[in-house]
Structure formats: structure tokens, C-alpha cells
Chain A
Amino acid sequence: MRYLPLTPADRASMLETIGAATVDDLFVDVPAEARLAGPIEGLPAHASEMAVERHMSALAAKNLSAGTAPFFLGAGAYRHHVPASVDHLIQRGEFLTAYTPYQPEIAQGTLQVLFEFQTQVARLFGTDIANASMYDGSTACWEAILMAARITRKGRSVLSGGLHPHYGEVVRTMAKFTRDDIVSLAPELTADPDDAAVIAAIDSATSCVVVQYPDVMGRIPDLAAISEAAHAVGALVIAVVTEPVALGLIEAPGTLGADIVVGEGQSLGVGLQFGGPYLGLFGCREKFVRQMPGRLCGQTVDAEGKRGFVLTLSTREQHIRREKATSNICTNSGLCALAFSIHLTLLGGEGLARLASVNHARAQQTFERLAKVPGVTILNTAYFNEATVILPRDAREVVRELADRQVLGGVSLGRLFPVADGLHNGLLVAATETTTDEDIEAFATALEAVLAGASA
């Protein structure tokens, strides 16, 4: 077996050192009736690299990958071009095969990356500080709500109807068990986001309001107005960013008054990967630092006075505080944070702004063209690179029929919000820098044919 270095002679000599006759003697604590006599039956035996590659490649070939079809999906996961150097660098063994940096003297590479990452996220979000990552945007969102409750000592949270429904489901699932009070506003198919409803729902018992920016239908809420209303009664504003590239073009949530900003960092460096691993981003005001979940990297000096970095403020964390910790999180998304950080270093602030402008321009081209398809209208007053298209019939069927024509034409609101009324003709369509003129034309043409009832 190519991954196992011990030879039969090694094993024999080691058993002699140990004073055991056979390897099975080392499993003596396992009750005899539970010990398996040999390999589990019905499972295949080991296989060569070539054979495994053949098996996996055959499975991969059954999928229609985004790069091989006109592709317009978003809804919290975006297809961006990732520079080749990003994937090369994250495969450096010193990054890929290192552990959480518990021994800082020999983990300065990872630690300095985390310090740079925290700085990048804080500057992108317009927050004072940021942590070293969470699992993904949805879990970061729930952790932010818990953190707000610790800070405000209130338990009522208001979720905008524009929050990604999976994020809302994660929150409602957890709150069901922790008995937090979650007020979920209904999603509405309106041209502008539900700012007024969010503001109306804030009361003196409210711990926080959770507002996605841009929201799941691509609309852009007025975070400044919501922040003003929330802060007036002592509630915190949690802004959720599922498309960080947008922050190259629109104002940072922290600058507009958000107290905690969480998000999904997948757009930069990480790739689609069928939903994971992704990258939870978490920034907030400095005064809340001791209530934050997750790892934090901080600057210090070594015994010779050289600058260095360590994991810090760990008295918030599970391995020290156990049941009194701010979160149970341990493993996070370190390598995805590295990929995000490298991509953002390559772009720089100006590059991110230009990339964002290209995304927005590609989206404008897409929606200008789709608006010419008979029966199709564009919902949004404003959008970044994603907006809601209203079709004359259930978008779930249209998406399936587009796929039959090898066009990946967006995410239907019916799949995202299966139980909400009045949304089923909505289709979320996203464009990025990877979208070509030909893609747009192929999508529009296929949509025309599908809506005209032509067979594929």
C-alpha cells in the first residue's frame, strides 16, 4: 500500500520492542465480540492511483461544469476567475499540511497570513477588526446573532426577508434549540428591499437586525437608515455579505453603521466546489472583541524583540473555557482564508474596484438583453452583479428546461423559498467577469425558446 511505510520486517521488530506477539494483541482492550476478524466484507480492496483516478474522473464527467456552459447562477455562491498562482500557493506543503498554529515559533507563515487576512477583511468590511475565519457565511451569521445577544443581553432578532433562505433556515434551526426569539420577515417580490419593514420590526426588546447587503434578490438595502433606527433603541445591526466582490463598488457595511459584518468569502480565491468548503468572514467593532467567536491572530514580539504573531484572546475559546466558551468552533477555514487573502493581495483595492465595475457592467449587459425577451421583466431598482428576473411562469420548470439545452440559467426563487407564496416566477440571475457576450446571447436565445414552448 503506497501510503504505508512500515515493512513486514519493521512490524516484526517493533512488536518485539513492544513485547507483543501480534498487532491484534494491541487491541486487547476492545471486547472480543466487537473485534472484526478481517476486512469488512462487501467492500472493495485497495486500488492503484490510476484505478482510483479513473473512478473519480468518471464521476466528475457526469457533471455539467460551469466552465462548459453559459452559466448564470449566484444565490450566495459566485463563479469568479481565480488566478493560477492562488491555487499553486495554497498547495505549498508548508501551508497545506500544517495544523492550526499552536506552536507559533514554527507557524509564523500561517500566522502572518492570518494577520494579513484579518486586516484585509476588516478593511473590506469597514469594521475595526475581523477574526481568522468561520465555516461559512451561514454559520457566521448565526454566531453573530449569538454574539449580539451576549452584548445586548436581549434575545429577539429580526431577520430581513432579503436574507438568503439557507442562512435563515440555519438561524431558525439553531434558535429552535436555544429558544432565541427570531422574527423572520417574509420575502416579497418588490423592486426595493424591505428596509421599512425591518425598521418597523425593531423594538426595545430587539437584540439585532440581520440584513443582507446586497440582499438575496440582488437589491441593496439602506444600511445607514436601518442602523440609525436600530441604534436608537440599543439594537445592533448585523450586515451579511454573500458577494464580497460587491464591496469593490458599493460602500462598506461597517462604514454605514453595521456593528457586526459577516459574510461568505467564497467569491475570492475559493471557487464553487458544489457548496463547500467555503469561508466564513466575521468582522466587528473593536469593543466587542471579547465576545467574538473563532480564532484571533495578534501581533507580539519574541524573546529577541522581533515582531511575530500568535493566536490570542483564547480565553474566549472552547479549549480553554469549555462550556463557557463564546462558541464551540475549533477547526475553521484556514486554507480558504489563505486563498482569499492571496487573491485579494493580487487584486489590491484598486483591482477589486475595477473587478467589481466589470461585474456590474456584465450584469447590466445581461439584464438589458434579458429584458428584451418577450414576457420577461427585471425586478430590481438597483443591483450589483445579480438581480431577480420575473418570468411568465414557474421559474423552477424554466431552469430545468434551460438545463436540457445545456444552459445554466440561474437559481429559481421557488427552489430557494419553496413555501413562500407569490415568488415562484422569480429567477435569480448573476453575471460576473467570467460571463461573455456569447454566454449572454446563448442564455437569452434559449430563454426565448423555452418561454415560447419550443422543444429542446
Chain B
Amino acid sequence: MNAPNASGWRPSMGEAGEAKFATSSGDYGLMLEEALSFELGSADKCGVDIDEPSRAPAAGLSKFLRKSAPSLPGLTEPETVRHYTRLSRQNYAIDLGPFPLGSCTMKHNPRLNEKMARLPGFADVHPMQPQTTVQGALEVIEQLADWLITLTGMASVAMSPKAGAHGELCGLLCIRAALDARGETRDVVLVPESAHGTNPATAAFAGFKVESIPATPAGRVDVAALKAKLGPNVAGVMITNPNTCGLFEPDMREIADAVHAAGGYVYCDGANFNAIVGKVRPGDLGVDAMHINLHKTFSTPHGGGGPGAGPVVLSEALAPFAPLPFVTRGADGSIHLVEEENAAEGHAQAFGRMVAFHGQMGMFTRALTYILSHGADGLRTVAEDAVLNANYVLRSCEDLLPAPFADSGPCMHEALFSDAGLAEGFSTLDIAKGLIDEGFHPMTVYFPLVVKGAMLVEPTETESKAGLDRFIASLRSLAERAKAGDESLHSAPHFAPRRRLDETLAARKPVLVWQGEPGVPGTPSLSEIGGS
């Protein structure tokens, strides 16, 4: 099982290794290496028992048949389970410890949510079943939509966007559609310098020109600079609130009023809604559209990079333009979908469709489960504890690590530090990699761009005080080592499954797929991999 391939080479057997003691297997106790499935599997193995087909292929299909089976090795079930379980152990995860990635919101993922999403009534229903057979599924969408509308104080919600950036796109297209309906062509979107990269990318994707708004020394949007840019060509602004420096934008209402007076719309990046859920309703601040990352605020699992979900709440002004499909409740009490077939009946202004089918149903069931578990009171505590935890980290470390905006008051759900003041040649990267050796996932590094050497720490509300104290102790220790010029930090991590990886090599000579043939023993030599 998972034996070395025939050549005997294992990924751990680096030619330049300096281990004082090498095991013959390449594994070290519970530190287990794992070859690629392509190196382990073979064409004659299969982990699924499949009946013989009852018919030969139809004559009509003969000219389309492939000449041989796809070149993919198979593994039996025990080999498969072991392959992926061994790989899983090379990952850090929330289940193992704090994952304080600022802006990413890595909080505990309740397992009830997983269980509910797997009920056959949700997991095993087809999106195009007759609507009389999926009333419960449509009710999940309706109930979640109601919660999102109420929690944000908005008029409506578009549920279909698949992730945060997709939600941004939905919001900007609603703005485009509203402008079109007014007969106006405004082509500029204002985006603060501190914004997530998705904001300018989305604006460009939606056909807008992007103009940047500077930040004030206090880490907020420069309101005067923003107002100076408003005019008949400005379609709207994209403001992240709380912003990416972990600060609330106190002038949000003033900004919104100015943008509205100039004929534009206010898009709010809701990536940080988890800091204010139950405490503030964005609708009260003049927001026209805001996406909600269900995988952040409402704790659907990040899964190593998705799937997420990005419903977009909308103001009265933008609600008529929400994309298809969406759910409505008829006079007879039944819930139905508004799709292309029936959109003309009262929803003719819908701007179109963003996805096949109805959105991230599996995420809706998880998010609704999370929301019902917390309730209105629990969600408010979520925001309070997230903010409390972040301020605790901020005030526990600011004497050692410069916190550029700490003087202006409390932070929201994340604490921002910079690497100013470390010894010559030491930077944020060294602190981050040092945290890996300490058994923690690093914080977000070098973002937001408005702070040099930024370190953005978001503990979330699901960290205990004891857990935070351990993290703070490690962060303080690393700051002291970096101030003292501890050279061992430059080569950190020392105790991870891999040392620092050569990203330049990966980009200079991209190897994006395995090049060998399945079932053929042997692996590319390191010189082939490295191109040196």
C-alpha cells in the first residue's frame, strides 16, 4: 500500500537534503510523504465495481467512439482512502488551530451544517425538477433570503452569485442596468486603494474604468478626494466596510449621500460583514448593493479554495434589476422560481442570468443552519466576540509590532500590524513563516497594500481566550526574534512538511500537469523538475 514506485524514488528524497539521519522509507514517524496518484495507480485498478453494460454501443455512436480509455490510473478503495488521508495530513486547517487570515474569516465550521446539507431532500434533488416537488428547497432559499434582507436592512437579495467576486459582479451589473434604464452611460467606478483586488478586477470585468481613491493617514477613505471625483461619469463607488485595514468607515452615510446626489450608486464589499452582523444594518448607511460571503460571515467551509456563495442584497433602487432566477411566493402560498419563462410577468427589468440553475444551494442549507443555530442574539454576539478578540490581539502586541492605525481607536474584527522596526533584512515574510514553525497558520501578509509589510490578523469569534493567549505569545516571541536579527527566521519554516518553496522556478518553467505515463514506473528526476 502506497509503496514507493518501482524506481524507489519518493518525493521526500531530495538530492540536496541535509538530514542528519535518513530513514529508508523517506517517512519520519507520523510525518508521511505521499507520491502522486499517477505514480501509485495503474490502468488495471479500479475502486468501483461496475456492472457489465447490457448493450454494445449503438451503431449511431460508432464514429464518435474513442480509440482507447482515458489515460488515468485507478486505485482501489483502500489505496484511495490512504492516499487522500495521507495528503490531508500535509494541510493546516481550522480544525487544527487558529487560522488568522485577515479578510478571509476562517472560523469554526459547525458540523451540523454539513449534516443538514447532506439530507437527501437537499443533496439529491435536481435543479430542474418540477417546482411542486422541491417546495422545501425553495423554502430554504426564501428563508435565507429573508434573514439576509432583515440583517442588512435592504429591500431585496439576489441569491444566485457563486462567490464574493461573483456577487460584486452582480451588484455592478445591477448598477449598469439601472443606469441603462435611466438612459445614462456612466463608465467610471471609484475604488479605494485599500480595496480587495477583486474590486477593481470586477469593475473592469463589468466594463467600467477604475479610478483609485486614496486613504487618509487614519486608514479611512479620503472623503474629500472621493467627493472631488464625483461627477456625471461616475457610476458608483465600491467601499469595503469595515474596510481592509480592519476599521469601520465612519463617514459611510456622508459618502453615500454625496454619491447619490451625484447620481451614482454605492456598492459595499461585504467581505467583513461578520464584524457588524446584528450590530449595524448596511441599509441604514445608504448602501445600494452588498455581497455577503456566506463562506465568511455564515461559516460555510472554505474547502481549500471554495466553493463559496455571494448573495447580493439590494436597495429599492436596484432591486428591480436582480438577475434570474429568484424565488417568490404566490397568492396560493406556494413558492416558485422566476425564470426566463415567466420573467416577463412583472420582472422584465431583470438584467439577465449569471449562472446555470439557481446558485449555491449546498451553501444555502449550511448558512441557514448556522443562522438558525445562532439566532438574532447569537449573531450579534458573533460580531461582538470577533471584534473583542481582534482588539485583544491588537492591544497585546502593539508594544512590539507597530500598529499603524491603533492610535485612532479600536479596530473591528481584525488587527493590522506592519513590519517597521524589525532588524535590517527582516520582514513580514519571516514572521509569517516563523508562525508556521510555532504551529499556527500565518496571518494575511502584504495586504492591504496601503500599509508596507502589512500583517492582518483576524482571530474570529470562535477562538478561545486561552488559544489567543498562545497565539499572542508566539507572535510576540517572533517579533522579538526578528528585532534581534535571529537568522533562523530567514530559513523558516523548519518543521513543516516542506521548507520554503521555489515560486520563481514554478513560474519561470511552469509544470502544471504530471508529464509521465500512468503505470509506467519512474518519476521525473529532480533535474528535470527543476530544469537545472
Contact = CB atoms under 8 A, between A and B. Distances in A.
A355 B381 contact: no
B481 interface: no
Contact of A98 (B65, B92, B307): B92
Contacts of B44: 350
Contact of B72 (A99, A249, A318, A352): A352
Interface in B452-487: 461-465, 467
Q: Give the interface centre of B137, B250, B304, B351 by most chain A CB atoms within 10 Å.
A: B304
Contacts of B166: 135, 139, 329
Nearest to B468: A14
A77 B89 CA distance: 33
A99 B306 CA distance: 8
B20 interface: no
Contact of A18 (B323, B357, B410, B442): B410
B342 to A, nearest CB: 8
A249 B61 contact: yes
A450 B532 CA distance: 70
Contacts of B388: 6, 11, 14-15, 18, 23, 26
Given A34-B280, A124-B72, A299-B529, A382 B353 contact: no
A99 B104 contact: yes
A177 B173 contact: yes
Interface stretch (B224-232, B311-319, B505-513): B505-513
A200 interface: no
A352 B94 contact: no
Interface stretch (A44-52, A154-162, A441-449): A44-52
Nearest to B209: A323
Contacts of A226: none
B369 A56 contact: yes
Interface in A322-349: 322-325, 327-336, 338, 341-342, 344-349
B216 interface: no
A30 B80 contact: no
B387 interface: yes
Interface in A414-435: 414-416, 418-419, 433
B8 interface: no
Given A34-B253, A249-B57, A272-B123, A112 B43 contact: no
B126 A95 contact: no
B503 A328 contact: no
B106 A275 contact: no
Q: Give the interface centre of B137, B162, B279, B436 by most chain A CB atoms within 10 Å.
A: B162
Contacts of A305: 14-17, 526, 530
A23 B307 contact: no
Contact of A275 (B66, B110, B127): B127
Given A310-B506, A338-B304, A62 B112 contact: no
B162 A323 contact: no
A306 B356 contact: no
Interface string A35-48: 11011111111110
Contacts of B512: 115, 118, 129-130, 289, 296-299, 312
B112 A79 contact: no
A237 interface: no
A193 B139 CA distance: 38
A325 B197 contact: yes
Contacts of A345: 37, 41, 47, 73-75, 80, 83
Nearest to A75: B128
Interface stretch (A103-111, A181-189, A202-210, A228-236): A103-111
Interface residues on A, range: 35 or more
A100 B433 contact: no
B250 A403 contact: no
Contact of A26 (B123, B134, B206, B387): B387
Interface in A158-194: 164-167, 169-170, 172-174, 176-179
Nearest to A418: B341
B136 A133 contact: no
Contacts of B84: 89, 92, 95, 113, 338, 342
A64 to B, nearest CB: 4
A361 interface: yes
Contacts of B354: 139, 170, 173
Contact of A4 (B87, B378, B412): B378
Contact of B395 (A17, A23, A338): A17
B205 A328 contact: yes
B181 interface: no
Given A4-B382, A99-B302, A346-B80, A382 B373 contact: no
Contact of B356 (A76, A110, A112): A76
A440 to B, nearest CB: 11
Contacts of B447: 319
A35 B248 CA distance: 12
A306 B96 contact: no
B81 A89 contact: yes
A273 interface: yes
Interface string B196-227: 11101111111100100000000000000000
A2 B101 CA distance: 23
Contacts of A309: 501
A81 to B, nearest CB: 8
A75 B447 CA distance: 42
A71 B128 CA distance: 12
29 contacts: A40-B150, A45-B377, A53-B112, A56-B116, A58-B136, A90-B303, A97-B108, A103-B441, A103-B442, A116-B36, A118-B512, A136-B162, A136-B357, A248-B69, A273-B117, A274-B358, A275-B357, A315-B507, A318-B201, A346-B47, A348-B41, A349-B70, A354-B46, A355-B48, A365-B55, A381-B60, A382-B58, A408-B126, A415-B339
* 7 A-B pairs closest in CB distance: A348-B74, A173-B352, A60-B121, A335-B303, A275-B357, A62-B136, A334-B305
